[in-house]
Amino acid sequence: MEPNPSNESKKITDLEKNYKNLENKTFTTNQGLKVNDTNNSLKSGERGSTLLEDFLLREKITSFDHERIPERIVHARGSAAHGYFELYNSIEQYSKAGIFTDINRITPVFVRFSTVAGSKGSPDLARDVRGFAVKFYTEEGTWDLVGNNMPIFFIQDAMKFPDLIHSVKPEPNREIPQAASAHDTFYDFVSHTTETLHNHIWVMSDRAIPRSFRMMEGFGIHTFRLINNKGDSHFVKFHWKPKLGVHSVTWDEAVKINGADSDFHRRDLWDAIEAGHYPEWELGIQIVPQEDEFKFEFDLLDPTKLIPEEMVPVQIIGKMTLNKNPENFFAETEQVAFLPGHIVPGIDFTNDPLLQGRLFSYRDTQLSRLGGPNFHQIPINRPIVPSHNNQRDGMMQTEIVKGQTAYFPNSLTGGCPHLAKIAEGGFHSYEERIDAKKIRNRSESFNDHFSQPALFYRSLAHWEKQHIADAYTFELGKCNHDYIKERMLWLISQIDNTLATQVAKGLGLEIPKTIEQPINHAIGADAEIDKQQPPKKKIYLEVAPTLSQANTKFESIESRKVAVLVSDGFSMKNFKNMVDVLEKEGAVIKLIAPHGGQVICDENIKHKVDAAIMTTESVLFDALYIPGGIKSIEKLKTEGKFIKFINEAFMHCKAIAADGDGEDLINKTFVSDFKDDIAVLINQKAESFVNALAKHRNWERMDNVKHIPV
């Protein structure tokens, strides 16, 4: 259908009105002060720490932090669980923190997983970054490792965080779309802010739609410091490696899961813990000696960069297990407050400008969300060690603090509470030498915006690359303005031209040879533009296999959900042989029948139905099994949704097994044309089905299912 010229004219008119409304309006503070740079915080040198005096940063962040009450502005949709952390090996050569040196400790933890962009009522399977925040209740105080399921972030400086979130949130004039990045304002921002491209291509990948919270990695994102007893500093990046491997769903599944069960991830975490399938992650660290700070072709302080594991291997040092669900969602999951500024002796910060801003922003946000400065007294936020200081009163005060003095020094109470010596565990910041000018700028070493997105894309399996191309095509296809799409196509071509060509074909557009605007607007009005432009991509590593989910763990089927399609008269012998093996390996069996209640097998035994076919969907399961039994199969063949159920599972590359007469049901589906598929098992041993299920998906099937209608 040809576009309506009058509609195109109206769009242009609307754009002109927007520009006219802002004509001659200069950026100012809330007090009318003209602003020269709203992209960079004030630092002690280009790579120095952010300064407390930066009133522009504090005004911008404070306004942003208090936009929502009481729902979190970001990470509103969350799920959580209790557990514990145990250390495998002491790393006292790097850190003096007790949690990293005492192998006899069992440290309690509380972990919250979340989406970022959506509201509290949004669905679980949005294409989005997932928050991965861990609160360690250590014997030296609380340590919060507040990260995501992706190792990098969108922006390099906290000054840009309100802009990022405002662009991805529902557009303010119409409050749509919810929990989605596929709209003009987000891509307008991304296409002007090229530092976002690395995290953005991760969001276009399968990492943005995990199969389960239990099957995704976690990262501390920033480069932190570890400090040992000698005062020596090592740079560190933190990694959480799931014992079940890293697995995702397809976008088609995600859309359907959101309709079939919008609480899919929340329910999955809760049910796994209740069933005793306790989620586990191993904690890993990447260590870079202080003297190697500048040895890489990227900057360690840049939060949009990762350190490839092929360059600095991850050392596994401990394990976290989640073994208890919250007793009250609001009191625990909703009221928990994570702050990057919660650290313990042996852990310290770097001058990462995004981290520096987070140290202010997170506490500021909690003041609104939790009613005042005493949120640490809420049970879920209380440390396991007592706290003593001269802070008093305030909203939500629950402690009755006794005594005459609330100041230091004093003599009336014997100088108590007294200060702790460093040797007694008193916190001591790393003594980093600073000799620099105060400056609102960004280091040129942060300017490489194409090399790591290109490395990520080169490292993926062919099916992962196809999913990224499909995601870009879908997301940009939702944008209304061609010039935004074309600017994005040019940027994608700088990452990988083949990828850009594929996306351009899907959009029906050409990749522009140049783009009109300067390609990096994350600078101040007077900055030297040439110095801030991203250079062409570098190849310092051809591929990094650890970035691909094709190389994750494929060992366990514990907690994997298998749909068993049955009706009255199903084969008990086949069913028992298969289920005994599956349950021994930890799989979860669900009987799907034409109706609810009970079904009776061919040995006249009653079995409880877990779901009637009209109340469930194949996308909620990891695999399916058909035990056969002629009476059962004849009934299933008359129900169209069972045929759709099988076809859809096949299209999503899942393992399918059938025994005996179950093959007759397979023959009614598209699957009958692909019986040589390695994950379609007809009358084979149960162990073969286990092996196929452990592989998560038969992604090689993708080429065969592209054109199958479901």
In the numeric block, which tokens belong to residue 89?
């090996």
The CA distance from 568 to 606, in Å, is 9
Please give the full DSSP string across 20-52, using - where no structure is assigned. Answer: HHTTTPPPB-TT--B-S-SSS--EESTTSPBPT
Q: Which of 39, 40, 82, 148 is catalytic?
A: 148
Which residue is it, tokens 């809420």? 378
DSSP character at residue 169: S
- CA 277 and chain centroid, separation: 22
Q: How far is CA 343 from CA 146, 348, 427, 641, in A?
A: 11, 7, 9, 54
Closest CA to 449 of 570, 305, 352: 305
Q: How far is CA 542 from CA 14, 451, 459, 553, 688, in A?
A: 46, 11, 8, 23, 36
Angle at CA of residue 252, ends 251 and 258, nearest 5°? 85
Closest CA to 94 of 256, 269, 249, 232: 232
DSSP character at residue 210: B
* Cis-peptide into 627, omega within 30 deg: no
- In contact, 30 and 59? CB cutoff 8 Å: yes
Phi, psi (5° rounding) for residue 685? -65, 150
> How many Cα atoms sit within 13 Å of 185 on the Cβ side?
17
Q: Which of 75, 277, 342, 467 is catalytic?
A: 75
In the numeric block, which tokens belong to residue 77?
């949709």
- Any residues with CB less than 8 A from the CB of 659 and at least 6 apart, and which? 571, 574, 577, 578, 626, 627, 628, 682, 683
- Any residues with CB less than 8 A from the CB of 216 and at least 6 apart, and which? 130, 132, 149, 207, 210, 242, 246
- β-bridge pairing 623-626 and 561-565: parallel
The CA distance from 361 to 283, in Å, is 26
In the numeric block, which tokens belong to residue 484?
């935004």
Phi, psi (5° rounding) for residue 384? -85, -5
* Cis-peptide into 417, omega within 30 deg: yes
Phi, psi (5° rounding) for residue 256? -75, -35
Q: Is 75 a catalytic residue?
A: yes
DSSP character at residue 407: S
Helix (H) or strand (E) holding 319: strand 315-324
The CA distance from 10 to 113, in Å, is 43
Closest CA to 483 of 127, 11, 6: 11
The dihedral of CA 265, 271, 274, 277: what is its sign?
A: negative
Amino acid (1-letter code) at residue 250? T
The CA distance from 337 to 370, in Å, is 9
Phi, psi (5° rounding) for residue 402? -95, 160
- Any residues with CB less than 8 A from the CB of 643 and at least 6 apart, and which? 637, 668, 669
Closest CA to 357 of 125, 616, 50: 50
The CA distance from 676 to 661, in Å, is 18
Q: How far is CA 605 from CA 405, 547, 564, in A?
A: 75, 49, 16
- In contact, 422 and 22? CB cutoff 8 Å: no
- CA 336 and chain centroid, separation: 18
Please list the active-site residues: 75, 148
